[in-house]
Structure 1
Amino acid sequence: MATRNAHLVPIGAEPESGDVAVQRTWRSAVRLSSVAARMERFLGGSGFDRGPWLTVAFAGGIALWFWLGNPWQWGVAIAISVLVALGASASARPFNAFPELRKAAAALGLLVSFGICVIWLRSELVGAEAIERPEVRSIVAKVLEREEQPGEDRVRLVLAFQDAESGQAHKVRVNVPISKDDPAAQEEAVIRLRVRLMPPAPPMLPGGYDFARTAWFGGLSATGSLIGELEIAEPAMQSAGLAKVQRDLAAHVRARIDGSPGTIAAAFASGDRGAITDRDEEAMRDSGLTHLLSVSGLHVSAVIAAAYLLALKLLALWVWLTLRVRLPLVAAAVGATAGIGYTLLTGAEVPTVRSCVGALLVLAALALGREALSMRMVAAAAFFVLLLWPESLVGPSFQMSFAAVLSIVALHNSVWVKSFLAPREERWIATIARRGTMLLVTGLVIEVALMPIVLFHFHRAGVYGAFANVIAIPLVTFVSMPLIALALLLDIVGAGGPLWWLAGKSLELLLGIAHWTAVQPGAVKLMPEMGVGLFAMYVAGGLWMAMWRGGTRLFGLVPWLVATPLFLLAPIPDVLVSGDGRHVGIVGEGDRLLVLRESRSDYAKDNLLEMAGQEGEPVSLSDWPGAECTRDFCSLTIERGGRPWHLLLSRTRDRVAERELAAACDLSDIVVSDRYLPRSCRPRWLKADRSLLDRTGGLSIDLKNERFKTVAAGQGEHGWWRGGRDEPPPRRRQ
């Protein structure tokens, strides 16, 4: 009776012990039910499109697979997601009264688990085991891809060959100097060559670019370079493949426009960026215009829009057809054909495919009389790309493309923007002013949306990119690309010369804007690593602001407001150590980075500068008065956290007397070496020799807090990682 009538206990009376337990359970259920009811009312009255959140859940499952470290964690995540979905579908009282909440939980749980399964399956199907160690060998290989890069003075070949001993097939990428290239080394040709091969490189430092992951999903087991001469064993069959058409088109455009403008025009026409010089690449990057060089949304949309409008206007002149056929349907078919052809011609890269899919959905909406730009259209395009290439989610190309599109759609679907751009009775100059203002606002919104992505992947922030894009985007969309297209068309009858001249002048203006913007004070600011957690907060806040409506979307600012000061106040690493132990950077001793070696590799130098958040040329330790350097070692003392830290850094691999080395290690807090050091070398805190670095990868060391980050910490047991597990920092001996 006590249990059955627990709810009848009078107010103020002391219930029996059994009554207390039941009453607490009942109150807990009431509280949970109340929370669920509020969520139900929120979802029911939000008035937003819920479909796109299914794509977000799918992407979340993919991201979860990359973040979790090993198969049992992936399996547990799948099981939990499925259980949530099943529990929501068959939930008992009191939650069966909340249909919106139950449908959301069931759908999101299923799609999260589906995302994990898709990327896991993709990794197992396409992942390629890297070669064990660097090697030099002679191979007979078939050419799969050929990419000409005159700007780098080389040709890049993707080859397939079979190991004669193991019988295992390998796909490798080899750089061939132009001076040793044979134009007959086309796709499908069989060549004989001697190559130096290397396993795909993991990130040099924590937070750096992970080429090993990219190579894994690209099926590459090694990269390398040609040694000696290249010999054609079997010439390629003569065929008009798209790759050859692309190269011929790029060569034709560069022949019509000289110099740097010609290389940019070739990139617009064919997607071939191989001839663009490093100087122009850097200027476009630092000015925030590098997205114009990648054939993506802007270019595909321009081609499809031009084909659609041209077909619509020309077909409207045919009265017989106009009276019998819906012209938007025919024009949409023409635009779709042009878009698909341009996508295939320019290499069908993931950003281009994404843009083409999105543009085709817009065409379908226009043909059916539906809203052309919507979140559902963007979500459908994203889902399609992620279903085919789920690994693209963690790459900057996918993230930047969709962040820009989401920003544009969210901004232009907002009430105040629609009101601002609504037609009205006014002078033409006022209309132009409003459109120009909106273009500037759109550029600023895109710049803000892309900044966390750029900081996370490239560790740099641009300041003037929005202003440069206000001029550059209309210039490329309405001047340069139409001129190039018309010039190519007129070249059929040999009359494209004047248009090529005009196109070249427009591209000279584009490059002028890029170079002028890039050299302005403060145009680029290097920033240290942004952690995955902070980046996730920015992504969550951005998605919330883009996909909700009304005042509710402002809650998305909360993660940004929390993440921004955490990022700005995050400690900058004091010491950076590359995964091979050869490159060491020391931060905080003046305005410039101190380095152990003056590397001829721009890759190593740029990685150290970006992770340190410093600009300018590094200073070699041998030239710094605070360091003592011999032929074999450099030693120095730096002050951090109110205490001195003694560093001993190896410079050569020459033999050193063990007793002398042990004595030097005993006086040091940190020893870094690119070789295996004997056990007798026992520094007071950290011995970062090859024995440790082979397991951890590169290090980012914070001396004040006596901790370090490792590359291994973000790798887990994914197939592309060949090192060991992360290791906790040791305690410092006094």
Structure 2
Amino acid sequence: MPGLTHALLAQRGHLLLWVPVCLGVGIGVYFSLPAEPSAVHWLVLALAAACAAALASHAGEAAAPLVWALVLVAVGVALGGWRSHQVSAPVLGFRYYGPVEGRIVAIDRSASDAVRLTLDRVRLDRVSPARRPERVRVSLHGDQRWLTPAPGQRIAMTAHLGPPNGPVEPGGFDFQRHAWFDRLGAVGYTRTPALLLAPANPDDLTLRLFVWRMALAQAIRDRVAGQPGAVAAAILTGDRSAINGTVTETLRAANTSHLLAISGLHMGLLTGTVFTALRFLIALWPWLALRAPAKKIAAAGALGAGAGYLLLSGGSVSTERAFVMVAVMLSAVLLERRAISLRAVALAAILVLLRRPEELMGPGFQMSFAATTALVAVFEGVRHRREAQARARSIAGLAPPRRWPRGTGWIAGTILSSLVAGLATAPFAAAQFNRVADYGLIANLASVPVMGALVMPAGVLAAVLAPLGLAEIGLAPMAWGLRWILWVAQQVSGLDGAVSTVAAPGPWVMPVLSLSALFLMLWQGHGRWGGVAGIALAALLWTQSERPLLLIADDGALAGILTAEGRALTKARGSSFAAGIWLENDGDPTAQAQAAARAGWTGPPEDRRAVVAGLPVRVMSGRGQAARLGGRCGPGLLVTSVEITPPPAGPCRLLDPPARRATGALAVDGQGRLITARAQQGARPWVP
């Protein structure tokens, strides 16, 4: 096939771009396996990869990259398995209520806006060290006036703890997997006061940096009042604990919530500001400017500033990812290579996947690299087109094209970058959060330039002047910019139709979409346009995705059936987290109370009945369930909130608490098949 051989040979010089793609495919394969590979499986994989690597040297020039691609996929599978076993830690296997002691290592807020503490060096009453979780996370409710949480404090409380919950529906977000890689072995809450046992005594560098970071965040909030101060602290230190839920939701509805997370935008703006400032200062000294490599000195200084920002902000995963990307680009400047290129993005992705392969499954990695890859690919395409046009005009003896007025290039670049980044991240945001900010482009066009031209430079100035006690000189203009950004978010989020909801895609949609978009951007030659067909196929698959006809929560307290009006729930209050996720995944913005008022269920609230795809379903709650059954049940599913002993006689399938502990959440699809969350998760280390 000479055509295929020619197409493969055309990729020479661009093969590095495909290394993270192949690694990502392998990591994705590992996380989609139905069971954890055994030692025999790993041995077979290693032998197969070794044989393929040996064969690659004897394959033709066109075929060798295909063989190496298979080797890299195998390496990706191995990376996922290695990381999974590296982070292994005990997970609490039962519901616990009693004394909890631990050291505060993280402070944030829960979805209900409660202060939430992550503790290590945990002690639980009558739990042996071998079964004791390495970390637990507790939300503080009730009167907590006796404690002002600070990093390094050792505290005690009486709390309800349990193992991390599984997906709220089969195939949904797997919090158990997320907690496993965070070494989070238990989660819970307390309604009694948390008490201080010992003051902060940071005995390691990470905790000392955390103490310093929280002190700095508080100092910023003391100087900048209100939510602008909370946002300033989040941008400069990564501490988002003072941002209230209203502001978070407003920014999310305007598609500007990415301005809160320390990510590639912030790291790029910070290092760009430092790089430009250092080059400007060197240029002011002619003797130094003529003798020193100003560009390399500025790049080294910006790299140091980025590393300091990484440490100051707590070294979160998103910040690490941003620093790796910036470090690769600045290192390219030091080595006199093109700083912003798809090679730099590929190297950054490789480093992130080697260090934290589980990041591939998270929205942060997907949206960050989707935006960066698309931006670099588009702007490289624009640059190549301009160079080609300039060469053609030069050969034809034509004069250079007329220049646009000064400043129009910057405006056009801002509009184009916002449009490209928004289009690149929109499918991932819709798939992960089931919502699309319809006016997000407007909000970003009004906010991102202010962030780049005012907020981040002012933040750098504040950091430089802080040792002199003059931080307010930088914080004041920073606050002006943040007030503008919050005002824009409030206005845009308040527009009619500001947010549209979409149904969750099927399991194949995002892999097909991602690989097709990468093929479109990375493949060399006209064959790249085949990626457009793949994107269209993914869009078609998304429109054909079907939601389950019946959903049952893992605790049996809530069930919902899909009707012509939308999902009808069994109750208007309680189990609000599961209800919200179900409705979001349906693309239904209805509140739980309204969904519970829909027709679909019959019978009183404590004994709801329906027929789903020909399958009778009965959901019972409250007291006296066994008495109401009378020892017998009819055909179909019987869901009870308490254990029924002895089980009722009859052809029903009983889904009481012991049964649901083995199944997790349940669903019934359009063909009447019963699907369990446990079956979808598979037999993996993070699944009980």
Please indicate, yes or no, whether the TM-score normalized by the shorter chain is above 0.5: yes
In the alignment, is residue 347 of structure 1 matched against residue 314 of structure 2? yes
Q: Which residue does the alignment assign to 1:79? A: 44
The one-letter amino acid paired with 2:26 is G
Q: Which residue does the alignment assign to 1:176? A: 140
Distance 1:91 1:262, change over 3 A: closer
Q: In the TM superposition, what is the alpha-carbon distance from 1:407 to its structure 2 partner?
A: 0.7
Q: In the TM superposition, what is the alpha-carbon distance from 1:596 to its structure 2 partner?
A: 1.5
In the alignment, is residue 120 of structure 1 matched against residue 81 of structure 2? yes
Return the alpha-carbon distance in structure 1 between the equivalents of residues 287 and 414 of structure 2: 40
Within 5 Å, which residues of 2 pair with 1:625-644?
Answer: 627-630=601-604, 632-636=606-610
Q: Which residue does the alignment assign to 2:185? A: 221
Contact 2:568-2:601 within 8 A present in 1 as well: no
Distance 1:229 1:305, change over 3 A: same
Equivalent of 1:197 in 161, 184, 204: 161
Q: In the TM superposition, what is the alpha-carbon distance from 1:300 to its structure 2 partner?
A: 0.5
Contact 2:278-2:301 within 8 A present in 1 as well: yes
Q: Which residue does the alignment assign to 2:71? A: 110
Q: In the TM superposition, what is the alpha-carbon distance from 1:252 to its structure 2 partner?
A: 1.9
Q: Which residue does the alignment assign to 1:242? A: 209
Equivalent of 1:385 in 332, 352, 356: 352
Distance 1:234 1:691, change over 3 A: closer
Q: Which residue does the alignment assign to 1:732? A: none
Distance 1:622 1:497, change over 3 A: closer
Return the alpha-carbon distance in structure 2 between the equivalents of residues 422 and 260 of structure 1: 49
Q: In the TM superposition, what is the alpha-carbon distance from 1:715 to its structure 2 partner?
A: 1.2
Return the alpha-carbon distance in structure 2 between the equivalents of residues 79 and 557 of structure 1: 37
Q: Which residue does the alignment assign to 1:365? A: 332
Return the alpha-carbon distance in structure 2 between the equivalents of residues 563 and 165 of structure 1: 49
Q: Report how many residues are paired.
A: 672
Secondary structure of 1:571's match? coil
Q: In the TM superposition, what is the alpha-carbon distance from 1:671 to its structure 2 partner?
A: 3.3
Q: Could you give the per-residue CA deviations for residues 116-152 of structure 1, whole angstroms, max 9, x where no partner exists?
A: 2222122112122321111112244333344478993
Within 5 Å, which residues of 2 pair with 1:141-160?
Answer: 141-147=102-108, 152-160=113-121
Q: In the TM superposition, what is the alpha-carbon distance from 1:181 to its structure 2 partner?
A: 6.0
Contact 1:78-1:116 within 8 A present in 2 as well: no
Q: Which moved more, 1:498-507 or 1:523-532?
A: 498-507
**Structure 2 segments unaligned to the other structure (5+ residues):** 391-399
Q: Could you give the per-residue CA deviations for residues 225-244 of structure 1, whole angstroms, max 9, x where no partner exists?
A: 23534343333337892112
Return the alpha-carbon distance in structure 1 between the equivalents of residues 547 and 23 of structure 2: 34
Equivalent of 2:516 in 533, 541, 544: 541
Q: Could you give the per-residue CA deviations for residues 565-617 of structure 1, whole angstroms, max 9, x where no partner exists?
A: 22112223322211221121232242x54222233554223212112221121
Secondary structure of 2:188's match? strand
Distance 1:627 1:184, change over 3 A: closer
Return the alpha-carbon distance in structure 1 between the equivalents of residues 576 and 178 of structure 2: 20
Contact 1:143-1:159 within 8 A present in 2 as well: yes
In the alignment, is residue 650 of structure 1 matched against residue 620 of structure 2? yes
Secondary structure of 2:539's match? helix
Within 5 Å, which residues of 2 pair with 1:562-601?
Answer: 562-590=537-565, 593-600=567-574
Q: Could you give the per-residue CA deviations for residues 656-686 of structure 1, whole angstroms, max 9, x where no partner exists?
A: 3265473xx42x64433333446436467x6
Q: In the TM superposition, what is the alpha-carbon distance from 1:191 to its structure 2 partner?
A: 3.2
Return the alpha-carbon distance in structure 2 between the equivalents of residues 225 and 496 of structure 1: 38
**Structure 1 segments unaligned to the other structure (5+ residues):** 1-33, 723-734
Distance 1:599 1:207, change over 3 A: farther
Q: In the TM superposition, what is the alpha-carbon distance from 1:631 to its structure 2 partner?
A: 5.6
Equivalent of 1:60 in 9, 25, 32: 25
Return the alpha-carbon distance in structure 1 between the equivalents of residues 538 and 675 of structure 2: 20
Q: Which residue does the alignment assign to 1:98? A: 60
Contact 1:594-1:618 within 8 A present in 2 as well: no
Return the alpha-carbon distance in structure 1 between the equivalents of residues 562 and 508 of structure 2: 24
CA RMSD, Structure 1 to Structure 2 (Å): 3.2
Q: In the TM superposition, what is the alpha-carbon distance from 1:651 to its structure 2 partner?
A: 2.6
Distance 1:38 1:78, change over 3 A: farther
Within 5 Å, which residues of 2 pair with 1:552-571?
Answer: 552-571=527-546
Contact 2:163-2:187 within 8 A present in 1 as well: yes
Within 5 Å, which residues of 2 pair with 1:104-503?
Answer: 104-147=65-108, 152-162=113-123, 166-168=128-130, 169-170=132-133, 171-177=135-141, 179-180=143-144, 186-226=150-190, 228-237=192-201, 241-415=208-382, 418-419=385-386, 426=402, 429=405, 432-490=407-465, 492-493=467-468, 495=470, 497=472, 500-503=475-478
The one-letter amino acid paired with 1:292 is L
Q: Which residue does the alignment assign to 1:719? A: 685
The one-letter amino acid paired with 1:295 is I
Q: In the TM superposition, what is the alpha-carbon distance from 1:645 to its structure 2 partner?
A: 6.0
Contact 1:184-1:236 within 8 A present in 2 as well: no
In the alignment, is residue 509 of structure 1 matched against residue 471 of structure 2? no
Distance 1:502 1:190, change over 3 A: closer
The one-letter amino acid paired with 1:256 is R
Distance 1:289 1:495, change over 3 A: same
Secondary structure of 1:414's match? helix
Return the alpha-carbon distance in structure 2 between the equivalents of residues 603 and 259 of structure 1: 29
Q: Which residue does the alignment assign to 2:648? A: 680
Return the alpha-carbon distance in structure 2 between the equivalents of residues 189 and 696 of structure 1: 39
Contact 1:48-1:548 within 8 A present in 2 as well: no
Q: Which moved more, 1:76-85 or 1:108-117?
A: 76-85
Q: Which residue does the alignment assign to 2:397? A: none
Q: In the TM superposition, what is the alpha-carbon distance from 1:192 to its structure 2 partner?
A: 3.4
Secondary structure of 1:451's match? helix
Return the alpha-carbon distance in structure 2 between the equivalents of residues 548 and 212 of structure 1: 37
Q: Which residue does the alignment assign to 2:394? A: none
Q: Which moved more, 1:290-299 or 1:50-59?
A: 50-59
The one-letter amino acid paired with 1:172 is V
Contact 1:486-1:496 within 8 A present in 2 as well: yes
Q: In the TM superposition, what is the alpha-carbon distance from 1:199 to its structure 2 partner?
A: 0.6
Return the alpha-carbon distance in structure 2 between the equivalents of residues 455 and 635 of structure 1: 33
The one-letter amino acid paired with 2:92 is I
In the alignment, is residue 45 of structure 1 matched against residue 13 of structure 2? no
Contact 1:145-1:159 within 8 A present in 2 as well: no
Distance 1:452 1:696, change over 3 A: farther
- TM-score, normalised by the number of residues in structure 2: 0.89
Distance 1:48 1:456, change over 3 A: farther
Distance 1:416 1:326, change over 3 A: closer
Distance 1:305 1:631, change over 3 A: closer
Equivalent of 1:70 in 4, 29, 35: 35
Distance 1:360 1:488, change over 3 A: closer
Q: In the TM superposition, what is the alpha-carbon distance from 1:348 to its structure 2 partner?
A: 0.9
The one-letter amino acid paired with 2:648 is S
Contact 1:86-1:106 within 8 A present in 2 as well: no
Q: In the TM superposition, what is the alpha-carbon distance from 1:538 to its structure 2 partner?
A: 0.9
Percentage of identical aligned residues: 26
In the alignment, is residue 700 of structure 1 matched against residue 667 of structure 2? yes
Contact 1:132-1:199 within 8 A present in 2 as well: yes
Contact 1:129-1:719 within 8 A present in 2 as well: no
Return the alpha-carbon distance in structure 1 between the equivalents of residues 89 and 7 of structure 2: 47
Q: Which moved more, 1:675-684 or 1:191-200?
A: 675-684
